[in-house]
């Protein structure tokens, strides 16, 4: 028994309150090393007299339950075991009995005990793990609407130009440049979005996430000048209020981008610091390392593009090493109050439904706890989404975020389907299963439905480009996205065949119907409709099918109480015929064609083909 790979911690993702009555218990062991795992559990205060001596009180082991765990997922290295219990008094002590062959070992908070040699340890609760009490106020609670939402991410400057009268000098003809860069202006604005809300609704979208729209210098608007004002190139505050109302009429939620890690160089508070140094009343609102604050050349009122060797030598802290984005000191009470007022203003005055938090993992947990308490008091069903790129459990304890941008889903999809020129690894189906299995055990089961799943965004290459223009593999990426539990997002224009690497992904949306990829649009629209109509697509748990020939496919089942969804994908560049496991041979409805089919002994899948099959249980 390899005890070095065994891991559990109480009150973490390995043991958490799923709801006010239910505790989820998980255990990690080395893959294929343990035959069985049992959990002995009971109330820690269930004591009584020893049957042989009334003067000795001990834990009533006869009241304890011993339940068998199941392996819910495995990756290349580990098996992940799961058990759900409902302690009557909301408190529980528990230990694991690890079984290998005829040998049993107790695993508890104080280590491992060979039960063959120390059988009395089996019910010694002083060696058990402890979940002291399920407190309702500590439960993770997210808005109920999020798990059923399909998002559409819009980069406003490139979505649609609806009001040419507010175009800035130098604005280019719509879609006239390819590739694009961040310095180009095409005149995208809020009126253009209002004009196309019906298009967004027709696609099946129920939530729109905007990258920043407040007054700023750059086209991307992550260098905020005025947090209380819509950028004049986008429109006005009144127009934004109209946009929100019109979106809500169509059943579409609105989420804004909160850039609270940093502001823009031209923000008046930072300009005051740049001019007055330590004499500025805003000096402690920023992380000033030394004076003079500005220790670099300027050009047209902005930091001059600097040589690489200047990186890290600034006299103030910034986002990355970008002098255009000075970092806020959110621990300063006045700075904190200012930023919280921003969040409050757009909720109270404009009725937005969510905040996406830029560079959220670089802002203090203390600030985000205050942010959550304040915003949820105003609007309890507000969605709080963090921009974290990796394991984010510390932010998802119920006191900060409701979810994060789930790039831990994105990366395996890229590695499975992306062209070798554009990805770090090329995943086989097994490596993909390993990565997704690890992801599915990373987050508690009530957190996972609120993860913001995506295959591309304004910060990545377009999925069609990652797949080197392979339309069929791009479609497979969207099949994975829209059958995976969580809250999926489509980056504007990917449904129309937009391409682009890096920041070149920020192309102008295609409104010329002769140039639109109508086939891709219809395909994604159909998948979104299936997402809305079929509850199984929104379920979190996946059962990967690896029996026989299916090991060379990406195939999985998702179940509700009365239905099953079977997803089968051939990611190979050649047709494949496979033998169908007996337990999968039944009558199905093909969700893409609406035809009734019977899955028999063999199944043929064309190159880069897939099937979405639904059956009653």
For residue 26, being part of any structural domain is answered with yes
Residue 167 lies in a domain: no
Give the C-alpha separation, 136 to 17, whole Å: 9
| CATH number for the domain that contains residue 549 | 2.60.40.1180
Q: Which residues of the chain have pLDDT under 70?
A: 306-311
Residue ranges of alpha helices (H) inside 351-470 are 365-378, 407-417, 429-442, 463-466
Q: Which two tokens stand for residue 565?
A: 């969804």
276-314 burial: b if 16+ Cβ within 10 Å, else e:
eeeebebbbbbebeeeebbeeeeeeeebeeeeeebeeeb
The total number of residues shown for the chain amounts to 617
**Annotated catalytic residue: which of 358, 456, 534, 539?**
358
Q: What are phi and psi of 75, to 5 degrees?
A: -120, -160
Report DSSP state, residue 174: T
Among this protein's residues, is 358 annotated catalytic?
yes
Domain assignment present for residue 46? The answer is yes
Sequence-distant (6+) residues with CB within 8 A of 471 are 464, 497, 519, 520
223, part of any domain: no
Q: Does residue 282 fall inside a structural domain?
A: yes
* Inside any domain, residue 78: yes
Catalytic annotation present for 557: no
End-to-end CA gap in the chain: 39
Cβ–Cβ < 8 Å for 66, 95: no
State the CATH number of the domain containing residue 67. Answer: 2.60.40.10
The reply to whether 267 falls in a domain is: yes
Residue environment code for 233-261, b if the CB has 16+ CB neighbours within 10 A, otherwise e? bbbeeebbeebbeebeeeebbbbbbbbbb
pLDDT for position 192: 98
Of 387, 456, 495, 557, which residue is the catalytic one? 387
Identify the pLDDT of residue 79.
Answer: 98
Rounded to two decimals, the pTM is 0.96
- Cα dihedral 118, 119, 124, 125 sign: positive
Last residue of a domain, one of 302, 327, 352: 327
Residue 590: per-residue pLDDT: 98
Last residue of a domain, one of 327, 358, 376: 327
Q: What is the pLDDT of residue 306?
A: 66
- Phi, psi (deg, nearest 5) at residue 422: -120, 5
What are 222-275's pLDDT values in tens digits?
999 999 999 999 999 999 999 999 999 999 999 999 999 999 999 999 999 999
51-88: per-residue pLDDT in tens?
888 888 889 998 999 999 999 999 999 999 999 999 99
pLDDT of residue 311: 64
Domain of 288: which CATH number? 3.90.400.10
Domain count for the chain: 3
- Assess if residue 481 is contained within a domain: no
Quote the CA–CA distance of 137 and 593 in Å, as a whole number: 47
Tell me which of 138, 166, 197 is where a domain ends: 138
Q: What is the domain extent for residue 601?
A: 539-616
CA dihedral over 41, 47, 51, 56, signed as positive or negative = positive
pLDDT at 51: 82
What pLDDT is stored for residue 350 in this prediction? 98
């Amino acid at each position: 028994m390899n005890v070095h790979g065994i891991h559990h911690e109480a009150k973490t993702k390995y043991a958490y309150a799923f709801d006010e009555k239910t505790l989820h218990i998980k255990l990690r062991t080395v893959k294929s090393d343990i035959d069985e795992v049992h959990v002995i559990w009971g109330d820690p205060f269930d004591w009584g007299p020893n049957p042989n001596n009334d003067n000795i009180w001990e834990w009533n082991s006869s009241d304890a339950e011993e339940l068998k765990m199941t392996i819910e997922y495995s990756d290349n290295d580990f098996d992940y075991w799961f058990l759900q219990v409902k302690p009557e008094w909301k408190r529980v002590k528990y230990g694991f009995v690890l079984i290998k062959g005829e040998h049993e070992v107790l695993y508890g908070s104080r280590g491992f005990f060979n039960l063959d040699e120390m059988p009395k340890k089996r019910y010694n609760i002083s060696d058990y793990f402890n979940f002291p009490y399920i407190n309702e106020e500590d439960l993770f609670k997210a808005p109920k609407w999020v798990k059923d939402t399909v998002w559409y991410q819009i980069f406003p400057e490139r979505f649609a130009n609806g009001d040419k009268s507010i175009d800035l000098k130098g604005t280019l003809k719509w879609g006239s440049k390819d590739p694009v860069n961040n310095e180009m202006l095409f005149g995208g604005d809020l009126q253009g979005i209002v004009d196309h809300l019906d298009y967004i609704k027709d696609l099946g979208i129920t939530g729109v996430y905007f990258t920043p729209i407040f007054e700023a210098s750059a086209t991307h608007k992550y260098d905020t000048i005025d947090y209380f004002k819509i950028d004049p190139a986008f429109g006005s505050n009144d127009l934004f209020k109209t946009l929100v109302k019109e979106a809500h009429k169509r059943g579409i939620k609105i989420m804004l981008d909160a850039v609270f890690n940093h502001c823009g160089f031209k923000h008046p508070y930072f300009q005051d610091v740049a001019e007055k140094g330590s004499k500025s009343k805003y000096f402690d609102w920023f992380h000033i390392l030394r004076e003079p604050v500005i220790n670099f050349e300027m050009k047209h009122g902005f930091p001059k593009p600097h040589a690489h060797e200047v990186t890290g030598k600034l006299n103030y802290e910034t986002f990355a090493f970008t002098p255009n984005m000075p970092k806020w000191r959110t621990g300063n009470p006045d700075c904190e109050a200012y930023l919280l007022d921003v969040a409050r203003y757009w909720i109270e005055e404009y009725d937005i439904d969510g905040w996406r938090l830029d560079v959220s993992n670089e802002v203090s947990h203390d600030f985000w706890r205050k942010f959550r308490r304040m915003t949820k008091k105003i609007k309890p069903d507000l969605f709080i989404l963090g921009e974290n790129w990796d394991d984010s459990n510390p932010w998802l304890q119920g006191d900060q975020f409701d979810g994060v941008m789930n790039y831990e889903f994105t990366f395996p999809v890229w590695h499975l389907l992306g062209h070798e020129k554009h990805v770090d690894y090329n995943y086989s189906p097994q490596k993909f299963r390993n990565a997704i299995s690890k992801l599915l055990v990373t987050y508690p089961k009530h957190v996972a439905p609120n993860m913001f799943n995506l295959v591309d965004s304004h910060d990545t290459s377009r999925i069609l480009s990652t797949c080197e223009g392979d339309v069929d593999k791009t479609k497979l990426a969207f099949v994975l996205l829209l059958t995976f539990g969580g809250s999926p997002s489509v980056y504007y224009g990917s449904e129309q065949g937009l391409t682009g690497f890096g920041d070149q992904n920020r192309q102008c949306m295609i409104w010329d119907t002769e140039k639109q990829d109508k086939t891709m649009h219809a395909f994604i629209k159909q998948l979104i409709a299936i997402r809305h109509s079929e509850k199984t697509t929104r379920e979190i748990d996946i059962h990967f099918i690896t029996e026989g020939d299916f090991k060379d496919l990406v195939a999985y089942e998702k179940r509700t109480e009365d239905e099953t969804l079977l997803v089968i994908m051939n990611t190979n560049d050649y047709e494949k015929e496979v033998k169908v496991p007996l337990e999968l041979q039944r009558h199905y409805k093909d969700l893409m064609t609406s035809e009734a089919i019977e899955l028999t002994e063999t199944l043929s899948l064309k190159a880069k083909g897939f099937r979405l099959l639904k059956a009653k249980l």
